[in-house]
Structure 1
Amino acid sequence: MSQLTFDEAAARSLEAIYLSPDVVAQRARVIDLLAPRAGEQILDIGVGPGLLAHDIARLVGPAGRMVGLDNAPAMVAAAERRLADLPQASVRQGDAGGLDLPDEAFDAAVATQVYEYVPDIKQALVELHRVLRPGGRALILDTDWRSLVWHASDPARMDRVLACWDGHLADPHLPAKLGPLLRQAGFEVRRVEIVPMLSPRWQSVSYAGGMMRTIHDYARTNADRFGLDADEVVAWRRDQDELIARDEFFFSVNRYAFLATR
């Protein structure tokens, strides 16, 4: 596995994706499912640039608490800037696999696009269970990259580029296994929903647009590690640009939201 590096430039790029309309809609659905209430103590694992944390902190209000956690210093800094006007919110550096937090400290926790990066998912879910109070809620959202439908003139080349992209994840197909893993950790799975990222036509300001740029940059940098010819990455991107010019772009991938209780 060759993980993405979240320096300041990567943090800005990720924030731009998170501000695209389809990811804004995803964030609204996550909040609906988590249903934060005034006065609650909520943990955001993998807080990223702090957009979801900001909404949650406003919903729990001054009597509540929102704690954000991220293992990337650039993300911690970005979230701290965004949450600076909310005294009920704090951010710290930490790892999802070993939460440096007290037992039964939170009413709810949320982790979006985090656990697919965690090598020891079983331990991470045990830790999640530990820090939640009895009856506490967990909302987990991750992508299963097998659900990806992405039009290309050369499907075999597309498969090779995406195999390279899969290499940055601990488990690119986690959602298919997440229900049993949650139950093994002591949770009761209450609800599972698909949250699609769909772009039937090209839009530069979209999740698909952001991912095309991110995957291109990652594959170009890591091609040798995964047996991918660098020229193939160039050809793949050129093909996508040509499809966009002909109004033949199509992208769809499913994220899966699991609502569970301790």
Structure 2
Amino acid sequence: MTDMLQFDTETARRVEAVYSTPDVIAQRAEVRALLALRPGEDVVDIGAGPGFLAAEMADEVGPHGRVHAVDPSASMRGLAAGREAPIEVDDGSAEALPLPSASVDVAVATQVLEYVVDVRQALGEIRRVLRPGGRALVLDTDWDSIVWHSTDDARTARVLAAWEEHLVDPHLPRTLGPALAAAGFEVAPPRVIPLLNTGDDRDTYSAGLVPIITAFVRGRGGLDDDEVQAWADDVAALDDATFFSLNRYVFVATSGR
């Protein structure tokens, strides 16, 4: 297990800011379109973070549906509980969901399972809490898909190599399809949601990611404060020459009846 990113109060606020960017708002819209939630459905958002997706799903399932926002971070749960939406915020992990068996119609885990040590256990938990015929959506990133322009490619490679230590499996999507099938799901062909930032706009996923990366990688992989700050200053100064691309991979699966 790696020394993963800790979602303390400061990091939680930084993540909240990143999740407020148009890039991630558009990603959530694609996720909701794939789910096609219906009024009255019960949903669990696993690793709900600051609660944006949970709140949006609560609007879609309406007053007769329920959305459970589950997260192990007290800071994240505090942010989720502050959303103006009727969501139920619970302490819990992907490997031990605080829900009865066969209690929800839909389970969602976005940018979560790559942090999980026992993915097989987590998928078993998703299968357990879903009702027969229930739907699961899992979204994770393969961090080898990242393209981030800078004036010093070698330095950027060192920073991104150290950043990969923030989670358990930086390449999880490569094995998610077979893992879902082994857990008893019927799995649709995966989809990709690209995040692409170009130009001098600062209200982007990549711009918001920079302070999270710099706070995490200092002292890792031989990186000192000066080198990390030089990288951050470099990518921020590119302005019109900014180019960032990263792929999210989405798996939609159905539990057996």
With the shorter chain as reference, the TM-score category is over 0.9
User: Is 1:41 matched up with 2:46?
Assistant: no
Q: Tell me how far 1:228 sits from its aligned partner.
A: 2.6
Contact conserved, 1:49 with 1:76, CA < 8 A, in 2?
Answer: yes
User: Is 1:243 matched up with 2:238?
Assistant: yes
Q: What is the correspondence of 1:77-226 to structure 2 with a 5 Å cutoff? A: 77-83=78-84, 85-86=85-86, 89-220=87-218, 223=219, 225-226=220-221
Q: What is the correspondence of 1:51-62 to structure 2 with a 5 Å cutoff? A: 51-62=52-63
Deviations 1:165-205 (A, max 9, x none): 00011001111111011111111112411111100223211
Q: TM-score, normalised by structure 2?
A: 0.95
Q: Tell me how far 1:242 sits from its aligned partner.
A: 3.4
Give the secondary structure class of the aligned counterpart of 2:166.
coil
Q: Tell me how far 1:32 sits from its aligned partner.
A: 0.4
Q: What is the correspondence of 1:14-29 to structure 2 with a 5 Å cutoff? A: 14-29=15-30
Give the secondary structure class of the aligned counterpart of 1:98.
coil
Contact conserved, 2:77 with 2:90, CA < 8 A, in 1?
Answer: yes
Distance in 1, matches of 2:82 and 2:116, equals: 26
Which residue of the partner structure matches residue 248 of structure 2?
255
The one-letter code matched in structure 1 to 2:56 is D
Q: Tell me how far 1:211 sits from its aligned partner.
A: 0.9
Greater Cα offset, 23-32 or 94-103: 94-103
Contact conserved, 1:44 with 1:68, CA < 8 A, in 2?
Answer: yes
Question: Structure 1 pair 157/101, CA: closer, same or farther in 2 (3 Å)?
Answer: same
User: Is 1:231 matched up with 2:229?
Assistant: no
The one-letter code matched in structure 2 to 1:26 is Q
Question: Structure 1 pair 178/40, CA: closer, same or farther in 2 (3 Å)?
Answer: same
Question: Structure 1 pair 252/181, CA: closer, same or farther in 2 (3 Å)?
Answer: same
Give the secondary structure class of the aligned counterpart of 1:138.
strand
What's the % identity of the aligned pairs? 52
Distance in 1, matches of 2:225 and 2:123, equals: 38
Deviations 1:194-238 (A, max 9, x none): 111100223211101111221122112xx2x43334332122123
Give the secondary structure class of the aligned counterpart of 1:63.
coil
The one-letter code matched in structure 2 to 1:98 is A
Deviations 1:47-72 (A, max 9, x none): 11111111111111111111110000
The one-letter code matched in structure 2 to 1:73 is A
Gaps of 5+ in 1: none
Contact conserved, 2:207 with 2:236, CA < 8 A, in 1?
Answer: no
Q: Tell me how far 1:14 sits from its aligned partner.
A: 1.2
The one-letter code matched in structure 2 to 1:249 is T
Distance in 1, matches of 2:149 and 2:6, equals: 28
Gaps of 5+ in 2: none
How many residue pairs are counted as aligned between the two chains? 254
Distance in 1, matches of 2:99 and 2:64, equals: 20
Distance in 2, matches of 1:12 and 1:127, equals: 28
Give the secondary structure class of the aligned counterpart of 2:70.
strand
